[in-house]
Structure 1
Amino acid sequence: MPQKRGKDASTDGAPAPKRRSTRNATQKPQYKEDSGSDSPVPKPKTKKLSNAKPAKTTKAVELSGPEQSSLSPISISIEHESIKNPVDCELYQTSASPESGAPQTMVFTHGAGGGLSAPAVFNFCTGYSALHDILAFKGSINMNSRVKGFHACGDHLQKKSGSTSEWPSVFGGRSMGSRAAVIAATEIAASSDKKGHYDITLVLVSYPLIGPKNDMRDQILLDLPERIRVLFIIGEKDSMCALDQLGEVRGKMKAKSWLVVVKGADHGMHVKPAKAEKVLGEMTGNIAAKWVDRQTLGEDRDQKEIQIWWDDDGDGDGVKLGGWEGVAQ
C-alpha cells in the first residue's frame, strides 16, 4: 500500500522510485532551498550496505569516546565583501595542537531545520575538534547565501594563516549544509584563478539525496571533479539518503568517495539508547578528522566503506567500529 504523504513538505516520507532532476546545460543552475529537517524522520525498512563485499571475518573494534577539546567553542563574527551581513560562527579549537587555522581546519554548517546547537552538529564538531579545529557557521535557509558563507569563512582562514600559497579547503555540513558545501567546492574548482590549483576535501553528513518531491539531488555530486575527496556520513535508516541509491550515485561520481554508515541512525542521527547518540555523534567527527588527516585505513581504492554502531555489552562504552571494507566495482 503506498505510503501517505503528510501535509508538511519538510516531513521525510519513504522515497518513491528515483527521478533525476534535469536542467538545461546552458543555464546557470538554480539551487533551491532545502526543506529537510533536523528533526526525527519516519523509520524506513533497514537497508543493507550497498555494493559492499563483506569480509570473510569481520572483527569489530571496541572504541573509547574521542578525547574532547578542553575549550568551549568561541563565538566570532566574520565579514566578507561578498555578503551584506557578518557571518556568525563558533570556533571549536583542538587541544591536540596549539596552532589554530591549520590546513585541516574544517568549515562546517548546519541543516535547514536546526542551528549550530542541534545535537547532531554539536556532537560532530566536538568529535572533530579532538584532533583539528572546526569553524561552524550559522546560515539561513537560502542556498546561495549559505554557499557564500563557505567562501567567506574559507577566505578568513587563509588570511588568518598568512599563507600566500594555495590554501587547502576542508568543507563540511549536515543535510542542507552538506549540499551548500558541495556547491561551494564546485565553484572554487571552476573559478578561473584556481582552476587546476586547488585542494578540496568534503565531509557530507546526512546528505539529503532524496528531496521532498522524491527528486534525486545527485547532479551536484556528479559534477564534482576527480581530484576532490568526499566522505559521506549517513545514518543507516536515513529516509533522505537510502544507502542503495547513494551507492549507485557514488559509482557514477568522478570524485573519489568514502562512506561511514551509522547503524540504527536516522536523518537527524538519532539512535537508541539515548546515551549512544552523543558518543556515536562525537565518534563520527573523530573518524572524519582522521580521514581528513589520512590517518585511517581505507585509503586503498577498494576500501571505501565502514560501519559504526552501539553495542552495550557491559564491557566498555558500547561504541563499535568495523573495518574498512571493499566495494564491488
Structure 2
Amino acid sequence: MESLLDPITVAIIRTPPETSVELIHFRHSTSAKESTQCRLYYTPTDGSKHLSPPQEAEENAFLNSSEELDILPQPDIIFNHGHRNGLDVASLVAFSEGFARTQTCLSFVDFGDLEHRTSTFRSLMSAFPSAAVGGRSYGSRSSCRAAIWSPVRKLIFFTYPLVRGIDERYEELLQLSSDVDVLFVVGDSDPLCVEMHLAAIRKRMRARTWWIRVIGADHQFSMRGNNGAGTKLCNVAGQIAAKWNVEGGRDLEKTELTLQYDKVNKQSVWTEWFAHPDLKKVSEKPITVTITLSGGSLPAAGEEFAHTLSR
C-alpha cells in the first residue's frame, strides 16, 4: 500500500494539480417522469473521453442512451449531497475536486426523502456501473440503503448522521455484509457522529470499516476561526479517500488516519493509516458446527450433519 507520508506523495497532495479538475453538467432520466441534475468531476488524461463541442455548449443536456453515456468518463463513485444543502456546499465541492484528481466522481441532486434518494441511486448505479457509492450526511444514509442487496462493495461517507437528538440511526449500517468496505470521513467535533458512538457502531458492523478522523471539524466541516482551513482539509480528505478506493489501497489491520490543519505553517498534515487498539479484525473464516442426533425415536438418530455459519 502506498505510503501517505512519502515526501513526493505529500508534495503532490499539497500542491495544486498540473491538470485542473473539470466539471460536466448534464441531466439523466431516472424514471419515465423524473430526471436528475448530475455533475461529473474528472481530470482529463490523454485517454479521456470528452463531450463533443455542441454538447459541452448545451448546459444540462440530457444523456440517457448507452451511446450518449459512453462519451462520459465512467465514474469511480456516485455521490449525493446532504439533507438541505445541495452540491455547491464548499466542503463537498472541495472533497469532490480532491477525489477527482485521481478518480472520477459523479454527484447528483436529489432533495427527496431516503426512499426517493435510494431509488435515484439505484437508477444511476444501473446506468453508470460504479465500484463505490457515497454521500454527505443524509446522502450517506441513502447511499447505504442503496448499497444493500446490490453489487456495490465500497462506500464512502463524508460525514454520517448517526444521532439526532435522542434518536440513533444505524440500522442500515448493520445490514451491510462482511464483504463490504466502508470509509467514514468524520470530524472529531461532529455532534451528529460522536467518536464514542462511531466506535461502538463500527464494532457492531459486519462490514469492514475505516475512519479518516478530521481534527477540529464539525458536521459542516467548518473550522472555528479559519474558514479556509476546512476547505483545504476537505480537498486532502478527498484525495486520501480516492487512494483508499483503489484496489490495494486498504489495509485490514490499519483502519484509522488522522488529518488536521497546521495553523502555524498553514497547511494540512496527516498520519499514515494505523491500527486502532480497540477495533480488532474479526476473523473471516466460517464457523462449522457439527450436530449429532441420537437417542429416542428420531428418524435420524445416531446420524451427524454439519452446517457452516458465516459471521
1 or 2 for the larger relative contact order (CA 8 Å, sep ≥6)?
1
Indicate the SS of the match to 2:199: helix
For residues 145-169 of structure 1, the C-alpha deviation after alignment (integer angstroms, 9 at most, x for no partner) is: 11111112212213xxxxxxxxx43
**Which residue matches 2:14?**
64
Indicate the SS of the match to 2:192: coil
1:136 to partner: Cα distance: 0.4
Q: Given that residues 226 and 256 in structure 1 are in contact (C-alpha distance below 8 angstroms), is that contact kept between their aligned partners in structure 2? A: yes
Correspondence 1:249 to 2:220? no
**Which residue matches 2:275?**
326
Q: Given that residues 213 and 258 in structure 2 are in contact (C-alpha distance below 8 angstroms), is that contact kept between their aligned partners in structure 1? A: yes
Match of 1:259 among 211, 220, 224: 211
For residues 10-37 of structure 1, the C-alpha deviation after alignment (integer angstroms, 9 at most, x for no partner) is: xxxxxxxxxxxxxxxxxxxxxxxxxxxx
Correspondence 1:221 to 2:173? yes
For residues 24-67 of structure 1, the C-alpha deviation after alignment (integer angstroms, 9 at most, x for no partner) is: xxxxxxxxxxxxxxxxxxxxxxxxxxxxxxxxxxx998651463
Correspondence 1:172 to 2:134? yes
Indicate the SS of the match to 1:135: strand
- What is the letter of the counterpart of residue 181 of structure 1? S
Q: Which runs of 5+ in 2 are unaligned?
A: 50-71, 281-311
- What is the letter of the counterpart of residue 269 of structure 2? K
**Which residue matches 1:185?**
147
**Which residue matches 2:295?**
none
For residues 109-137 of structure 1, the C-alpha deviation after alignment (integer angstroms, 9 at most, x for no partner) is: 10012001011211111111101111100
TM-score, length of structure 2 as denominator length: 0.73
- What is the letter of the counterpart of residue 222 of structure 1? L
CA distance in 2, matches of 1:127, 1:97: 20
Q: How does 1:11-90 map to 2 (within 5 A)?
A: 64-65=14-15, 67=17, 70-81=20-31, 84-90=33-39
Correspondence 1:303 to 2:265? no
1:99 to partner: Cα distance: 3.8
Flag the structure with larger Rg: 2
**Which residue matches 2:115?**
144
Correspondence 1:92 to 2:37? no
The structure carrying a bigger strand percent of its residues is 2
TM-score, length of structure 1 as denominator length: 0.70
CA RMSD of aligned residues (A): 2.3
Q: Given that residues 68 and 130 in structure 1 are in contact (C-alpha distance below 8 angstroms), is that contact kept between their aligned partners in structure 2? A: no
Q: Which runs of 5+ in 1 are unaligned?
A: 1-58, 159-167, 189-197
1:90 to partner: Cα distance: 0.8
Q: Given that residues 79 and 134 in structure 2 are in contact (C-alpha distance below 8 angstroms), is that contact kept between their aligned partners in structure 1? A: yes
Structure 2 vs 1, CA of residues 148 and 66 (structure 1 numbering), >3 Å: closer, same or farther?
Answer: farther
Q: Given that residues 255 and 275 in structure 2 are in contact (C-alpha distance below 8 angstroms), is that contact kept between their aligned partners in structure 1? A: yes
**Which residue matches 2:67?**
none
For residues 241-288 of structure 1, the C-alpha deviation after alignment (integer angstroms, 9 at most, x for no partner) is: 001110011011110010001111000011142221211111111111
1:71 to partner: Cα distance: 4.5
Indicate the SS of the match to 1:177: helix
Q: Given that residues 60 and 322 in structure 1 are in contact (C-alpha distance below 8 angstroms), is that contact kept between their aligned partners in structure 2? A: no
Match of 1:210 among 156, 163, 166: 163
Indicate the SS of the match to 2:210: strand
CA distance in 2, matches of 1:129, 1:96: 12
CA distance in 1, matches of 2:138, 2:229: 24
**Which residue matches 1:133?**
104
For residues 167-206 of structure 1, the C-alpha deviation after alignment (integer angstroms, 9 at most, x for no partner) is: x431010000000000000042xxxxxxxxx342100111
**Which residue matches 2:293?**
none
